Amino acid sequence: MTSKHWALVSGAVACLKAAAIGGVLLGPESTQAEPFTRELAFPGYSGFLNVPSSTVLPRGQADVQWSDQGFVNGRYRYNQNVSGAFGVFPYVEVGGRVIWDETHSNCYTEGCGIRDLSANVKLQVPLIPQDWFTLAAGIQDLGGETDDFEAVYLAAGRQFGPLEVTLGYGDPKSTVPRYLDGAFGAVSFKPFPWLNFMAEHDSQDFRVGAGVTSPQGWLPGGLQVKGKVMAYDRGEYADDRRFASIGISIPFGNAGTRPQLAQGAPGPGPVPGRESPASASTGLSARPTALEQKPTEANTSTHNTDVARIMGVQLVEAGYERVSTASVGDTLHVRWENNLYNRDERDALYDVVRRAQSVSGAHKQVQLTLLNQAIPVVSRTVSLEGEDALYTLGAAFAPGGILQRGNEPEPDWQFEGSYGPTWKPRLTFRPNISSGVATEYGVWDASVALGTELSASLWPGALVSASYNAEFYSSEDFERGGVFYNDRQRTDLIEAEIQQTLRLLPWAYTAVHAGRYAFDYRGVLNETMVLTPGGHHSLAFVGGYFRHQDLDDFTRRQALARYSYYNPNWDVQLDVYGGQFFAEDTGVRVDSRFWFGDYALTLQYKNTDAEFVSLGWVIPLTPVKDRQFKYLQLQGDADWSYSVQTRINEDKNITSFGGAAIVQSANPLREVYFNRGRLSNH
């Protein structure tokens, strides 16, 4: 098979080296200056009509468009196109394009014309003042086997008020003369922010066009709709045709709207880069409605014990569970379990501190202890004396553990309560998708199911859960007799297990699981994890023994070591697995996540019996704050992901859904106890 959807991932991986260098030079707080051009050109990179611009999309911005222009076999044709680009780091843009003639035709038996997925990578040179010029280099159609559109280019530009001028040079791999084959240039004139007139010479042909953009703020969530028309062209290869595109610009993630606790000692003024805690878009409770202000002179005699009791009642009414509060000197102690802010538990920390600040009385600080499955996980000491910003004075793992002696005694709790019973069932829904993208069998083949998980807490560290899958759609190639039938979403019980987690030390956990896994296997799992004091690094063992439920002599063993790293400044995660995977293939697997608030871009590399790469997204399918009922909680998947994977570095790019598979619980240690690995101590 010669499909190339791995090229999109390869391009993204290739850009990370340059991105890392740029990150070191610029630092975590650097920001990119306002770029000149934010639209996508027809080939899928940021630019004008066919000519690339000298800037990239800002970090966290995603643009997706449909267009009808294709340059195939030396001439322009009307082809279906879907392209997209993403600002993965400052000064780094990665994207791709799918172009096709026939949507469902089998290229082997029926013929399908062009069907190709290509990658685009573009890097802008940092540290050049924009009042001098901007400079960018890029690759179109990076990697792959057929290289239908491959070219490298360099573009320099300068802005003069509403006028932007770009000059550059391109070198395509194709021997057929085409755009970006030599010197090119473009001029853009924006009389209004929503209107753009463009003229360009793409090294072969001269074109004129216009683009429109919906004004900022007209659509919710920062979305903008964009359209573009190529109205005039003249040249040897233009064929006097008109092309158009329509797309949408999406600010990916919500990191900029999320207030969080700051680190360090209080200082004057608000925390840089943090929005007001009253931001309505976060879904966080900035101030409780019942107690709006700090105590006045009329109630300063209120005993601190009453303050602790009021705080506990307030948290239970808000929906928190296993709440305990106490007053000791000038410190208000709060211990609670969060099942409201399931996207990011740091939101619960902020919400509880804000509530403590509003009822603090004579308390100068609050000591927080976050529980998960009734096990103390992390401790935070936060000053209550700041008005505009809340500062973390101390952060650590909660003391205690079955192997630790001399634990600090707990305070005498003056309030204990919970919103509903501790065994409350939780029902989680998620779509599960298997798909093939831009293969010789179709542009997009898929099998889609509704996954449902029911879980309940039994006693500290004990959890019982079951997951069921119900397929409700499949394309022809995923139906019985189809080429992808074995990789479909099955309708069956995926997993049913009971687990017990033990906190050995404040920074060491182990969990034992037993039950049914991967549809057809009964077995046991163990996950043991050790963290560094800051929580940025961890080492883990993920192992298991499984026996097929119908074939008694068919067993599988899994034994994996995992190293994990989390950088809170960039909100980037890296996991490296090595050992024997579930299918008993041996090798390595590297998973990475680039977070933008509750959303993430994922890149993955696998090397066992074969090499695989994938590109994907993590999208929360539940509100920032989930709804609680007394005896049941309904929620969506806060960590839903979709990715495209394929085999690389072989003569034929055979579509594959396997390789380096890991069987683990639906409720592993990091997800249940450590906020998906993002609950570091500094």
Handedness of CA 190, 192, 194, 195 (dihedral sign): negative
Mean per-residue pLDDT of the chain:
84
What does DSSP assign to residue 306?
A: H
- Does the pLDDT at position 276 exceed 90? no
At residue 301, the pLDDT reads 37
Q: Among the listed ranges 168-172, 325-329, 608-612, which one has the minimum average pLDDT value?
A: 608-612
* Entry pTM: 0.82
**Span 228-248, average pLDDT:** 83
At residue 251, the pLDDT reads 86
At residue 653, the pLDDT reads 54
At residue 341, the pLDDT reads 96
Burial string for 210-244 (b: 16+ CB within 10 Å, else e) reads ebebeeeeeeeebebebebbbeebeeebbeeeebe
Q: Rounded to whole angstroms, what are the CA distances from 546 to 85, 513, 663?
A: 42, 12, 10
- More confident site: 547 or 263: 547
- Does the pLDDT at position 495 exceed 80? yes
- More confident site: 592 or 173: 592
The residues, any chain, with a CB within 8 Å of residue 48's CB and separated by 6 or more, are 37, 39, 41, 166, 186, 188, 198, 200, 209
Q: How far apart are the first and last CA of the chain?
A: 48
Q: What is the DSSP string of 415-431?
A: EEE-SS-TT--EEEEEE
Percent of residues, the chain, with pLDDT higher than 90: 54
